[in-house]
Amino acid sequence: MTNDKEHITIREKSFYWGEQTYLMGVLNVTPDSFSDGGEFNTPATALEQAQRLVDAGADIIDIGGQSTRPGAQPVSEVEELERVLPVVEAVRSSLDVPISVDTNRASVAQRAVEAGADLVNDISGGTFDPQMLPVVAQLHVPIVLMHMRGTPQTMQQLTDYQDLIGEIYQFLESQIAAALAVGIKRSHLIIDPGIGFAKTFEQNLSILRQIPTFHALDVPILVGVSRKSFIGHILNQPNPKARVWGTAAACCSAIEAGADILRVHDVPQMRDVCLVADAIWRKAN
């Protein structure tokens, strides 16, 4: 697979887009995330989990202090900081792995980067907080721009699209332009079509089928399908933790379509998926 996207180095780890699939391991430090709420919400348990994720092959650890599952209520800035900063500090003091902070608040992004985080993962694509893109530009760190509509409380009532892929593409194109306009380097931009965020079951499948469309934006693509409800719908499996093989199938599809990063909970299993799928689809080109 040819790829003109500029490779990037984060904390001495080089990411060569198009040559292999990278794994972003999820580390939720929240009491109410949809599949692992409350499991890792102290610095000690979070650090243990981060070490497990790294040992299993995670290339990035994504630390989030606010659940974004459908219907989730927002927490205060103070509470988000109290959840995130001790964990970022604990992981950074012990591990060299690149750390992503999953937040839509510029203030949290700034404090987390100052504490040792290396990139920002914003589910709103830089739209919830008008200071997010300027702050990221000043911090000189990469940012993941995701597509969604509404908020976690309202997004599942906002799934009426005239042109699903076209509207996602247009939003991401617009946010890339906005990021470039405030001084963020193109090499610091990553996009995410936002599977599960203001999308129906069928729309999620359509996005997975049409990921190649987004290559025209010429930035790396992150895909997050891990344990999500559309997989539970297909499998008739209400328990998110029992959706590992469904997640594996969706990840394999994303790799074949050219996704660069997969955001996952089950790193050991998805590392095997990446190794085999990369051997089939990436190494031969």
Q: What string of DSSP letters covers 173-194?
A: HHHHHHHHHTT--GGGEEEE--
Residues tagged active-site: 228, 263
List the beta bridge partners of residue 121. 102, 144
222's enclosing H/E stretch is: strand 222-223
Nearest to 233 by CA among 222, 221, 246: 246
Nearest to 112 by CA among 122, 123, 124, 100: 100
The whole-number pLDDT of residue 5 equals 81
Number of helical (H) and strand (E) elements in the chain, helices listed first: 9, 10
Domain 21-281 has CATH 3.40.50.150: no
215's enclosing H/E stretch is: none
* pLDDT tens sequence across 29-73: 877 544 444 566 688 888 999 999 999 999 999 999 987 777 778
Report CA 31 to chain centroid distance, whole Å: 19
Which amino acid belongs to residue 149? Answer: R
List the beta bridge partners of residue 8. 15
Weakly modelled stretches of the chain, pLDDT under 70:
1-4, 32-41, 284-285
The whole-number pLDDT of residue 34 equals 43
pTM: 0.94
Instruction: For the chain, give the mean pLDDT.
Output: 93
* pLDDT tens sequence across 202-227: 999 999 999 999 999 999 999 999 99
Token digits of residue 110: 């700034």
Residue 116 three-state SS: coil
Sign of CA dihedral 101, 195, 282, 213: negative
The 8-class DSSP code of residue 156 comes to G
Contacts of 39 (CB under 8 A, 6+ apart): 28, 45, 49
- Between CA 78 and CA 87, with CA 84 as vertex, the angle to 5 degrees is 140
